Amino acid sequence: MDVDLLIKGAEILDGSGAPTTRGDVAIVGDRIAAVGRAEGARAKRVVNAMERAVAPGFVDIHSHSDYHYFLAPQVESQVMQGVTCEIIGNCGYAAAPIWGSWLEDRAREYKRIHGLDLDWTTVAGYQERLKNIGVSVNYAVLMGHGTLRGSAMGGANRPAKPEEYSALAWELEAIGYRLVPIKRFTRSLRSGLGGAGGEPDFERQD
């Protein structure tokens, strides 16, 4: 077997939860071609990993890389730690959807501090920008409750008025979500900017 990279003698954690084994990992191009014993493989490059462990990429479920991607699209701060997938938009602080004076204020701040141009309002627009720069990790985007509320009603510490609620609903429905009564989510919204909500929450509409 001809391979591009052969990692030899590593302690292998395959991500399944199974006990570790010691063996080889053969890679062709950007794909794993074989795991186990790779006797007789001809490799362009061999890495002796006797003192090392090999594992699938880690998922960072609480990341704030939303804007950082534009500053460092190679995301080395994550990749160097073995992270290959991030969940962004945490703590209600998502980059989209965002509109109105909330967007203007944030755009001014990021232009001043980082020289960034925030020229999107929707999640689709945000993702289009990310696609254009190329980001080296996989990512999933959370809906930012704080960003949504801020866009619809600023930082007001009160339940949404009907017209503000409508603005939230419209933005969410535009990307396939619907607002639902909050009662069963109450515990999760007691603190932070999200805790000021009291009324709306959202879930995926399938």
Cβ-Cβ contacts under 8 Å for 164 (sequence gap 6 or more): 152, 153
Report in angstroms how near the CB of residue 44 gets to Zn ion at its nearest.
42
- Amino acid identity at 58: F
Q: How many CB atoms lie within 10 A of CB 75?
A: 20
Q: Give me the least distance between CB of 84 and Zn ion, in Å please.
A: 20
Dihedral over Cα of 164, 165, 168, 169: its sign: negative
Q: Between 93 and 120, whose beta carbon lies closer to Zn ion?
A: 93
The CB-of-119 to Zn ion minimum distance in angstroms stands at 25
Least separation in angstroms between CB 85 and Zn ion: 17
Alpha-carbon torsion (36, 41, 43, 47), positive or negative: positive
Identify which of residues 146 and 197 has a Cβ nearer to Zn ion in the complex.
146
Q: Which of residues 90-109 bind Zn ion (CB under 5 A)?
A: 90-91
Can residue 141 be called a binding residue for Zn ion (CB under 5 A)? no
Kindly determine how many residues on this chain lie close enough to bind Zn ion according to the rule CB under 5 A.
Answer: 2
User: What is the x/- site pattern for Zn ion, positions 166-205, by CB under 5 A?
Assistant: ----------------------------------------
CB of 63 to Zn ion, least distance (A): 8
Nearer to Zn ion, 23 or 144 (CB): 144
What is the 8-class DSSP label of residue 194?
G
91 vs 135, beta carbon nearer Zn ion: 91
Burial of 17 (0-12, 13-18, 19+ CB in 10 A): exposed
Rounded CA gap, 97 and 152, in Å? 11
Q: Which of residues 52-91 bind Zn ion (CB under 5 A)?
A: 90-91
Strands 21-28 and 31-36: antiparallel
- What is d(CA 170, CA 126) in angstroms, rounded to the nearest whole number? 18
Residue (88 or 167) nearer to Zn ion, CB: 88
Q: Which two tokens stand for residue 50?
A: 């006797």
Contact residues for Zn ion (CB under 5 A)? 90-91
